[in-house]
Structure 1
């Protein structure tokens, strides 16, 4: 487990360095890039090449460490079983809830009352007054 924690700390450091290197690169919009001069330690072209290489190396290390940490995590947890000691049992209902609108089981169903059908007038424009 100490190897897992050590690699996690190393990955966090690499992630922080990767963020710093990316922010230091000069982008088209100016960004947070550090301006280089030919009289300085490195020329602007040499600094850009160095930053590109540093970004590539740090990103590759980050991905490699992510894969290694995932493999270690799977290996460490594969032998465990799920703890069900805190599982709550739900009460089982034997009978379904009664429908308050349904008729009682012993009572006969009420007779359906049918209203007498009203006849519509033959011509709807004349209505009942035109007959």
Structure 2
């Protein structure tokens, strides 16, 4: 949706530039004569058409700019915004407390290992 509105904004901007550049600096119209005097494309009719077109396109451009600014402010696709918005992963506590050492593991033979065969374990 945002991309579509951004493309529409660019089209409106290009049309606005075109309509403004088509006007004469003295306030004349697109043509300097020709056609019927009361028609749309007469000197006066073209001037009124371009003036109205400029006003409508400028209004649309400003409205679209405000809409896009609001949409951009509410959209959270930035990696900075999303990383700050997430809660950090919970930290699991170790099995033993940091001030207590784990008991040492001693490799011992079973007490009755030598009794079954009546063989001494060490010589």
The match for 1:47 is 46
Shift of 1:29: 9.2
SS of structure 2 residue aligned to 1:77: coil
1:8 pairs, out of 6, 14, 19, with 6
**Residues 30 and 46, structure 2, Cα contact 8 Å, conserved in 1:** no
Cα offset for 1:78?
A: 8.8
The alpha carbon displacement at 1:34 in A equals 3.4
Describe the shift of the 1:47–1:59 C-alpha distance in structure 2 as closer, same or farther (beyond 3 A).
Answer: same
Q: What's the offset of the Cα at 1:37?
A: 1.6
Q: Is it true that 1:34 corresponds to 2:30 in the alignment?
A: yes
1:24 paired residue number: 22
Q: Which structure carries more helix by proportion?
A: 2
The count of corresponding residues between Structure 1 and Structure 2 is 79
Q: Contact 1:36–1:47 (CA<8 Å) still a contact in 2?
A: no
Unaligned runs of 5+ in 1: 84-131
4+ aligned runs moved over 6 Å, structure 1 = none
TM-score, structure 1 normalization: 0.52
Which residue does the alignment assign to 1:67? 66
| Mean Cα deviation higher: 33-42 or 44-53 | 33-42
For normalisation by structure 2, the TM-score amounts to 0.56
| RMSD over equivalenced CA pairs, Å | 2.7
